[in-house]
Structure 1
Amino acid sequence: MKSVMRIISRYLVSAVGVALILLAVNFVVFFIYMFQLNSIEQVEYPVSQIAEGLTVQNGAYQLSDTTEKIIEGNYQWAMLLDDAGKVIWSLNLPAEIPQKFTVPEVASFSRWYLDDYPVYVWRRPDGLFVLGGRVDSVWKYNIEYQMVVFDKIFIWIPLVLLINTLLAFAIALVFGLRLYHSLKPLAGGIRDMSEKKAVKLSTKGLLGELAAGINKASAHLVEQDIALDKRDNARTKWIAAISHDIRTPLSLVMGYASELESNAELPTAEREQAGIIRRQSQRIKTLVSDLNLASKLEYDMQPLRLSPVSLPGLVRKISADFLNGMMDERYTIDVEIDENTQDETITGDEELLTRAVSNLITNSMQHNPKGCTIQINLVKEAPFISLSVMDDGIGFAEEQCLNLNQPTEDPDLPYSGLGLTIVRQIVHAHGGKVKFSNRTTGGCEVLLSLPLDMG
């Protein structure tokens, strides 16, 4: 839900920011527009300049051609009143405009309208110059403010902005909370989908279409998981059934081959052939067992019988078993156990861990028929205990080493690869790490890192 809250917080900040920007832009545009609208005629043709265009020549008033064009182009009429309020000069004066005005009348129209004509006045030495605009061309309104308003304007403006900001934040918060309540079940549904749980969200509301899409995707994933589970179970059961069916006839073959091999009445060549049959049958039996175990480990169907395991004791026992019964003089095993690991234990499945170490020793022997030295080291590197099995043989093929460290979905490996795949699966099942590499001095090394505290 933290991601949803981040979205809401950014939404609120963005909404308030946009509101403030729009407010500021509106203020600026409004003042610019009003200033230009109010001053466009006054700046270009102020009434004072127009009034100066009326002069007295030879005892009569004369209006310059330029001023007359300005009046006719931008206004409508003009007149000059003497101190008694009488019209002593005019231009295009409408018929409804009287020829004489009282002081109250002059005072009334000087700032407002004269028969709906907006007027502008300018005091001249010889009277009052009156300039009339077109009807409905200018809107005038008398506005009065107490001076206290202007005295506190620098307080009121920030206060108004603050109130608007708080109001924008409140409105954005309301919409943000509504969005949050709409997104919350969707976020929960996506989290449940990541955990392979079935999702059924309500399709009502603003995000109903999106919820329906999540429901559809969840149903599809559930169907896929069911189909995959059925396929994996069928594959595992099939491998287990094949393994079981092979064991019985294979045991008969091995038994009869062993009898023939030990029959002193048979010729030596035939007894050797029987021995070859027995050893190859044993390899087939081991391969079937590895295949069955690899299948169970891959699909998490192999239960771990967890108990405290002493890796130093486990390594000594495995090494002794190989040296006493399964190795010839071409191979040697050297074991080096760090003193810091003598009393250390891990929580694991002793049988599977034995299988992993045995597979590594067997791999070194099978791929180095001319013999090699196998070195087993055990050191403590908290929070792990590291077990390395290395030899001075031919090492891994480059492709095989890459595939073991970065396995593909369906690795196509030879028999030795299957044994090493089982090693990787066992280590991962115990929460550990494994690394396959070639030594610079020749041979290969497999490093197993198992956590000291799993229980």
Structure 2
Amino acid sequence: MKSVPKLIRRFVGIMLLSSVLLIILNLALLVIYTLNQAPNSSPWMTAQKVADNLLQDGNEYVLTEDTEIELQNTNAWAIFIDNATMNVVWQTDTLPETVPMSYTVSDIASLTRGYIDGYPTFTGEAENGLVVLGYPKDSFWKHMWPSWDYNVIANLPKTVLSVLAINIALIFIIYVIANSKLLKSVKPIVSGIQALSANEEVHLREKGLLSELAVNINKTSDILQTQSRQLRKKETARANWIAGVSHDIRTPLSMVMGYAGQLENDLQLSEDTRKKATVIVRQSKRMRNLINDLNLASKLEYNMQPINSERQNLIAVIRQVVVDFINMNIDETYTIEWETDETLTACPVCIDKDLIKRAVSNLIQNSINHNEQGCHIFVRVISEDKVCTVVVADDGIGATDEQMEKLNNTPHYMVCDEKTTEQRHGLGLLIVKQIIFAHNGKMLIQHSEYGGFEVDLSLPMTM
């Protein structure tokens, strides 16, 4: 059952990908939010900038205009504490009244890391003192005691990764537990669908999250099984009908052939009457062959014809078929040439010898039947890529591309369709195709290199 693990892997992959994307998205949003919420993200740098741009003019201090505008834009205030007196010797106009004007060393230490009267303060070093920059009370939060144990900092990456791994494991466990019921319901559904494709009877338990789907699969199985049983009954009836008709026709046909043969050899009859008897005999033989072909095609169609496969040399089998035709003393207008490469002495295949001989005989006879003016027939065996191919070709009238397409793809006598009034041909080719398919081979009908008709029969080679 490969589909369920694949489904689980897909679910887990989606979960992990979603988690990673959510983490990245949250980090990006946090950075954007922080930047938007902190227009003055470097107050320490701003304090140092004020200290650098605070100029002494005699006994007074003057701040450059651009720096003063920057403080106004951030609602910040500033003072300058003299090193010698520890008093404020310069201040901005926006200085709150509650801010002290004199400081001790401890006050300086406190405001450096914390606040003055609730205002977050930041310091910048000047030549003769200290610049203190203050912001509105709710603008910054300051960490009053910025000291950490060294081991905590040193082990921070490992700690973060461990916490992350634990979180991922917990998310996975929660996800599996939450979806185990669904996965338990999916497995029989998948098994049922696979059984349907194999035409097996399916009865799933109609409970759980996918109960409605299970009900539909059960109904589908019942419909398919009913259709399969009806089809088997029809096939059996058709096969029995063909076998019965074939058997019933043979006896009267044998009598017709027997009496016609006597009339054909009766010297007391006129020449014209004897010729008519000859036609009756010839057409009766044709009817007998058609009945035999139809019966064989029916057996092959419904797997009623046993296939007695044995290891054979395909070259020897096909050569025997050619020799038998040559010995039949067929009309001189038909010649058969054996074109197999003399260096190819063996082509081992596992076949039913009689059926393969019947198939090749049908092809040779097909070339004779469809070329009344005569033709040359070429037979050869080719061995290539562990496949043995029998080629039967002629230089006769051939067939059009449209006819080739129909012969390769259109069903013949054994398949009914709406075009029942249209006469069908090619029962001999159908038997050939069925024999080759029964041997796991392939059949291809195409134009021959001699300008006529060609059929290629490919069979897997036995090693």
Normalised by the size of structure 1, how large is the TM-score? Answer: 0.72
Q: Deviation digits for residues 51-85 of structure 1, max 9, x if unmatched? A: xxxxxxxxxxxxxxxxxxxxxxx99xxxxxxx9xx
Letter in 2 for 1:350: K
SS of match in other structure, 1:435: strand
8 Å CA contact retained: 1:16, 1:172: no
- Hey, what does 2:283 align to over in structure 1? 280
Aligned counterpart for 2:357 among listed residues 342, 354, 359: 354
Letter in 2 for 1:437: Q
CA distance in 1, matches of 2:426, 2:344: 30
8 Å CA contact retained: 2:314, 2:346: no
8 Å CA contact retained: 1:203, 1:211: yes
- Does residue 407 of structure 1 match 2:414? no
- Hey, what does 1:146 align to over in structure 2? 148
- Does residue 170 of structure 1 match 2:169? yes
CA distance in 1, matches of 2:203, 2:3: 21
Aligned ranges for residues 34-433 of structure 1 at < 5 Å?
Answer: 34=34, 36-37=36-37, 145-146=147-148, 148=150, 151-152=153-154, 155-157=155-157, 159-171=158-170, 173-174=172-173, 175=175, 181-182=183-184, 183-325=186-328, 327-339=330-342, 342-404=345-407, 406-409=408-411, 417-433=426-442
Q: Deviation digits for residues 227-281 of structure 1, max 9, x if unmatched? A: 3323322322222222223222222222221122122221111111111112112
Ranges in structure 2 where 5+ consecutive residues have no aligned partner: 49-73, 76-84, 86-105, 125-132, 414-418
- Does residue 441 of structure 1 match 2:454? no
8 Å CA contact retained: 2:397, 2:452: yes
Displacement after TM superposition at 1:200 (Å): 3.1
CA distance in 2, matches of 1:385, 1:108: 98
CA distance in 2, matches of 1:329, 1:190: 61
- Hey, what does 2:29 align to over in structure 1? 29
Q: Paired residues, what number?
A: 450
8 Å CA contact retained: 1:190, 1:214: yes
Ranges in structure 1 where 5+ consecutive residues have no aligned partner: 49-73, 76-82, 84-103, 123-130
CA gap 1:248/1:415 in 2 versus in 1, 3 angstroms: farther
8 Å CA contact retained: 1:15, 1:169: no
CA gap 1:391/1:8 in 2 versus in 1, 3 angstroms: same
8 Å CA contact retained: 2:412, 2:427: no
CA gap 1:442/1:20 in 2 versus in 1, 3 angstroms: closer
- Hey, what does 2:461 align to over in structure 1? 452
CA distance in 1, matches of 2:172, 2:412: 52
SS of match in other structure, 2:409: coil
CA distance in 2, matches of 1:258, 1:403: 38
Report percent identity of matched pairs: 39
CA gap 1:326/1:204 in 2 versus in 1, 3 angstroms: farther
Displacement after TM superposition at 1:362 (Å): 1.0
Letter in 1 for 2:401: E
8 Å CA contact retained: 2:387, 2:459: yes
Normalised by the size of structure 2, how large is the TM-score? Answer: 0.71
281-290 vs 313-322, greater mean Cα deviation: 313-322
SS of match in other structure, 1:201: coil
- Hey, what does 1:90 align to over in structure 2? none
- Hey, what does 2:9 align to over in structure 1? 9
Displacement after TM superposition at 1:204 (Å): 4.1
8 Å CA contact retained: 2:314, 2:347: yes
Letter in 2 for 1:163: S
CA gap 1:119/1:368 in 2 versus in 1, 3 angstroms: closer
Letter in 1 for 2:332: E
CA distance in 1, matches of 2:114, 2:346: 106
